[in-house]
Amino acid sequence: MSESAGKTRRAAEVAANVAGATERRRVQSIREPLSPGAYVEYSVDDQPGVVERARAYLAGAPCEPVAPRRAATVMLVSEGKPHYRRFESPLAGGAPIEETVDAAPVDVFMLRRASTMAFTPDAVVFPGGGMDARDVECAVPWAGPSPEQWARLMSCTEPEARGIITAAAREVFEESGVLLASAPDGGAPVDERGDHWACEREAVATRQISFGEFLRERGLVLRSDLMRLRSHWVTPESEARRYDTYFFLARLPKGQHADGRTSEAVEAAWIAPGEALARFDAGLLKLVPPTISNLTSIVAATSVDEAWNAPFDGHVRPHPVARPCGEVVLGCEVSET
């Protein structure tokens, strides 16, 4: 797209955003469950530089959108249990926060990213990351819905679906030690040495071997039926670092536990979705909009089964929106495909 064409298109977006503000359907926030057809807007004032880049984008500043990188994130859920928790204070010099939390119906496993990470440092997130070339290219032993079936559900190509599902299972394994795989007959994977797959995790995480090679060597198959699609978010074109991320939900497999041993995170814990959102409201956790929305989608679940059966939120592809008052936010209509 030429620079002049880009400016024309963005100018049209601004005019449409402002002129149609009073005509569009009800505006939802990301603190309400989403569904295809809903129109959502949300503020990004707490994210350094995002508003400035969005304003520049709407003003027609020269910018060739960066192609987003495919990524996968997994909401690992389990029946809630009472927890003793110890958190470092978000305030400089503050004392650690220690507490015992009563059981909630559903807990989700989350990690706090290291402050040195280039993307969303210090944010509390679900296990996940970018799709690796070998997630697509290397043969992966497979059981459950086929890549073709997933591609139809995800509105992408079959190779992309295969790579994204593989990336989801790989990232959960690397960042939590949880293996969404089994023996071909459905038998649970067993780590005979009792080291929680430490050597294999390190080899996969450092790309010494692919996830498919690890599964084949252990006689295991990836279980795509252990994941359920929750939502799909794409970073706005106004951002220089963009991701095309599919969010999945997975139950913690029986007999496994999540440990959070990863160099990308400094803390890990099971936490109820409602508690995570309350901590965010209190300024104790940093959450980014897609995480907030996905937590919201299961916050009312009274059981792991209910969280599993929650409907697909839809495809969320936000773009900068100029409100009549002059405020710039991100928003879009949630789509079914």
Q: How many domains does the chain have?
A: 1
For residue 14, is it within any domain?
no
* Residues whose CB is less than 8 angstroms from the CB of residue 313 and which lie 6 or more positions away in sequence, other chains included: 33, 34, 35, 230, 231, 293, 294, 297, 334
Under 8 Å between Cβ of 181 and 140: no
Does any domain span residue 99?
yes
- Which residue range is the domain that position 280 belongs to? 68-313
The amino acid at residue 22 is T
Backbone angles phi, psi at 269, to 5 degrees: -165, 155
The pair of three-digit structure tokens given for residue 102, joined into one six-digit string? 């009563």
Instruction: Please list the pLDDT of the chain residue by residue as tens digits (337 residues).
Output: 445 445 445 545 554 554 444 355 799 999 999 999 999 999 999 888 999 999 999 999 888 899 999 999 999 999 987 666 666 766 777 787 777 777 789 999 999 886 666 566 689 999 999 999 999 999 999 999 999 999 999 999 999 999 999 999 999 999 999 999 999 998 888 765 567 688 889 999 999 999 999 999 999 999 999 999 999 999 999 999 999 999 999 999 998 989 878 777 778 889 999 999 999 999 989 999 999 999 999 999 999 999 999 999 999 999 999 999 999 999 999 999 9
Residue 322 is assigned to a structural domain of this protein: no
Secondary structure class of 81 (helix, strand, coil): coil
Domain membership of residue 96 (yes or no) is yes
In terms of C-beta density within 10 A (0-12 exposed, 13-18 middle, 19 or more buried), how is residue 333 classed? middle
pTM above 0.85, yes or no: yes
Domain-located, residue 24: no
Q: Looking at residue 187, which CATH number applies to its domain?
A: 3.90.79.10
Would residue 229 count as lying in a domain?
yes
**Does the residue 333 lie in any domain?**
no
Half-sphere exposure of 57 (CA within 13 A, CB side): 22
Q: Is residue 257 part of a domain?
A: yes
Q: Which H or E run contains 124?
A: strand 124-125
* Calpha distance 158→142 (Å, rounded): 14
Q: Cβ distance 318 to 14 under 8 Å?
A: no
